[in-house]
Structure 1
Amino acid sequence: MRLTAFTDISLRIVMRLAVADEAELPTTRSVAEALAVPYTHAAKAVARLGELGLVETRRGRGGGLRLTEAGHRASVGGIVRALEGAGDVVGCEDDPPCPLRAACRLRAALREAQEAFFASLDPVTVDSLVASPTGPVLLSLTLPGLAVR
């Protein structure tokens, strides 16, 4: 299964925020630049992650992004489910619709495989993703406007 670019960007943002220094909160722009993703895509991802209660945004002086406690403990499987949605893996109802859709077993098999994929990510938490060696690499990414650690 291949994740959407939106989910990929969202997971990278969550991982970067998991190792961020609470004293110097990164901005959406600085995280987008550090992760080499377009600002507009990062902004949409941050907004969705905020809706999910994983990221807190603060405006103004001293503002920025912070991963919430729920974000640190979040299951990667749960995050991916929330971002990818429960849609079908194949486009049975596309235009034109698949002529096999009324008697096909493929759709159910693919849904089952998709759920198995998500379930395999359920025990993985955001904090476990940023354990060494990943955390130090994430910290080495330069966040424009912030001091290099």
Structure 2
Amino acid sequence: MRLLRSTDLALRVLMRLAVAGDTPEATPTTRDVAAAMEVPYTHAAKVVAELQHMGLLEARRGRGGGLALTAGGRTASVGTVVRAFEGDGDVVDCEGATPCPLRSACRLRGALRRAREAFFASLDPITVTDIVAEPTGPLLLGIARAG
């Protein structure tokens, strides 16, 4: 299974904000995040807006503004974040422009759904705080300062 770019970016934004703490890099702007992660600003802005809508981060405008992780963002389940960005669509498209002739008796689609849910379920107990624990957190801070 491969994650969408937006899912990957959402997790990296949350990780970056989780390790920032009280450092000078604590409240980067969306532009800062886009530049540091080498993604288009519009892509980063969409991800930040969704994370804000989910209540995982705050985005403040103006002087002294920037992005900050909320308490809910620190304790957010990685599985919940991944589900939100990946959506609940099927792994394979059995009903596409040329519907699969096996769709009425296929066992593969159900097996793939169960595998997908098992993947999400394995991420459910892991929080954002968990994924930035040592040695990851200090390494992320070093990368942020070097950038």
Give the TM-score taking structure 1 as reference length.
0.91
Percent same amino acid among aligned pairs? Answer: 65
Cα deviation, residue 137, structure 1: 1.6
3-state SS in 1 of match to 2:144 = coil
Unaligned residue ranges in structure 2 (runs of 5+): none
1:142: Cα distance to partner? 3.5
What amino acid sits opposite 1:13 in the alignment? V
Q: Is the 8 A contact 1:20 1:26 kept in 2?
A: no
Corresponding residue number in structure 2 for 1:12? 12
Instruction: Provide the residue aligned with 1:53 in structure 2.
Output: 55
Give the drift of 1:19. Answer: 1.1
Q: Give the structure with the higher percent helix.
A: 2
- Deviation of the 1:38 alpha carbon: 2.1
CA distance in 2, matches of 1:89, 1:20: 35
Alignment of 1:2 onto 2:5: no
Task: Give, in angstroms, the shift of residue 138 of structure 1.
Answer: 1.2
Deviations 1:39-64 (A, max 9, x none): 22111110111111111110111100
Q: Distance in 2 between matches of 1:98 and 1:70?
A: 42
Residue of structure 2 aligned with 1:117, choices 116, 119, 135? 119
Q: State the shift of 1:36 in Å.
A: 2.2
Matched, 1:28 2:69: no
Specify the alignment match of 1:78 in structure 2: 80
> Is the 1:29–1:39 Cα contact (8 Å) retained in structure 2?
yes
Partner of 2:68: 66
Runs of 4+ aligned residues of structure 1 deviating over 4 Å after TM superposition are none
Letter in 2 for 1:11: L
2:135 corresponds to: 133
1:92 maps to 2:87: no
State the TM-score, normalized to the length of structure 2: 0.92
Quote how far apart the aligned CAs of 1:14 are.
0.7
Equivalence map 1:34-49=2 (5 Å): 34-49=36-51
Counterpart contact for 1:4–1:84, Cα < 8 Å: yes
CA distance in 2, matches of 1:94, 1:51: 31
Unaligned stretches of 5+ residues in structure 1: none
For the residue of structure 1 that corresponds to 2:58, the secondary structure is: strand
Root-mean-square deviation over aligned CA pairs: 1.4
Alignment: residue pair count: 144
What SS does the aligned partner of 1:56 have? Answer: strand
Greater shift after overlay, 102-111 or 14-23? 14-23
What SS class does the counterpart of residue 142 from structure 1 fall into?
Answer: helix
